[in-house]
Structure 1
Amino acid sequence: MNGLLRISRVIDAINGQIGKKVAWLILAAVMISAGNAIIRKLFNWSSNSLLELQWMLFGAVFLMCASWTLQLKEHIRIDIASNLMPKRVQQWMELLGHLLFLMPFSVLTVYYSWPFFMRSYAINEQSLSAGGLAQWPAKGLVVVGFALLTVQGLSEIIKQIAIMRGVIADDDTAGGLAAAAEAEAQRLLNQAKEQGIAP
């Protein structure tokens, strides 16, 4: 189990670094979008390549940060239902969700998107819009993004099994950073009540 946990930590570190770096592309997309709007208003000029670059950058963030988001437990969950169940049931739901839904979906997406990307790359597929960008890099992002998600899914399965076997502690951030922030807010509120600051 310790060897698998070491692999899990390496996967987490790699996907975390990729996510943190790729997330900066949101800023680039916003700047390009704002610049394109300003240029269009001031000079009555626009470019299809700039418009396509915006959605490609957003697509890159969405796909390349999905594994980091999974690692942080920030994907949408049905917390209302699962929080009513015993902790052990929640752990089984987490494990089976990864095994039966996430992994097959991610593996099949990689499997079917690879030839889709390779065909596009082989013909150097270009945009149908005049002055647009090449399309194969965007299709390649699907392969890379879901490959990273698959590997992160494996890491999550390893960690969940370790938690269920009592090898590692179950952290209290099962709801992601939002849940952690809510817990901290509640702690501060309780502290303020004890000090007589809050009603």
Structure 2
Amino acid sequence: MDRLNTIIGRLSGWLVFLMVLVGGFNVIGRYLGNALGQNLSSNALIETQWYLFSLVFLLGAAYTLKENAHVRMDVLYSGWPPRRKALADFIGTVLFLLPFSGFALWFTWTPVLNSWRIRESSPDPGGLPRYPIKSFILVIFILLIAQGLSQAIKSWAIYRGAIAPPSPSELSATVTVQPEREGHDDA
């Protein structure tokens, strides 16, 4: 599961590049089109940019979980020993992430199926169909459940001492904020 979510996460990174290109074209097309008296952009292109943003967010969530890069309040957690962190991660995953993802999957299933059933499309003229992008809501929660199970297994193994906790260099997604030095001037 880790490997699959790494591939999907890297793919979503390339979607950012594509999203920026589409967004740039939309902006240039709007201004150039206004100057030329032509419509060089469209609702479909604007919605394509929106869909790409949605895919980046949805497909990147499980990868972010795998990389331990979700935002968290590290007031207590950052000072804990690795085994206590692993136990906290295990409990959080089992009590919060997995049930939430399961409920979200359960409650979004019917609206997504209804969207496919009616072939829901954009209310804007020339817009894109909505039902394919809505399917990724289901995909995200399936990926989160699978990655959550992977994380829970690893956390439990660390807690039990079956595997070593990751070294600080392996936690590349962790950002440490350095306190400012007194008298330091960036100017």
Query: TM-score, normalising length from structure 1?
Result: 0.80
- Aligned residues of 1:73 and 1:175 also touching (Cα < 8 A): no
Residue 182 of structure 2 corresponds to none
Give 1:21's aligned residue: 11
Name the structure 2 match of 1:99: 94
Residue pair 2:65, 2:147 contacting (<8 A) in 1 also: yes
**Whole-Å separation in 2 of the counterparts to 1:127 and 1:176:** 41
Contact 2:87 2:156 (C-alpha < 8 Å) held by counterparts:
no
Q: Distance in 1 between matches of 2:54 and 2:169?
A: 26
Q: 1:156 aligns with which of 139, 151, 159?
A: 151
| Residue-pair matches, total | 173
1:92-143 Cα shifts (integer Å, max 9, x gaps): 2111110111001111111111111110011100101111110111210100
CA contact under 8 A between 1:73 and 1:174: conserved in structure 2? no
Q: In the TM superposition, what whole-angstrom CA distance separates every residue of 1:133-187 from its partner, at most 9, and x where no partner exists?
A: 10111210100011101100000001011111111110134994243x759x9xx
SS across alignment from 2:124: coil
Aligned partner of residue 165 in structure 2, secondary structure: coil
2:58 is matched with which residue: 42, 58, 63?
A: 63
Instruction: Write the letter of the residue equivalent to 1:14.
Output: L
What residue is the counterpart of 1:119 in the other structure?
114
Q: 1:131 to 1:39 in 2, by over 3 A?
A: same
Residue matched to 2:20: 30
**What value does the CA root-mean-square deviation take over the aligned residues?**
2.1
The 2-side partners of 1:83 and 1:174 are apart by 15
Q: For 1:69-148, list aligned pairs within 5 A.
A: 69-148=64-143
Q: Which runs of 5+ in 2 are unaligned?
A: 179-187
Task: Give TM-score, length-normalised by structure 2.
Answer: 0.85
Structure 1 unaligned residues grouped into runs of 5+: 1-10, 186-199
The corresponding residue for 1:195 is none
More helix per residue: 1 or 2?
Answer: 1
Q: Is the 2:84–2:159 contact (alpha carbons within 8 Å) kept by the matching residues of 1?
A: no
Percent identity of paired positions between Structure 1 and Structure 2: 38
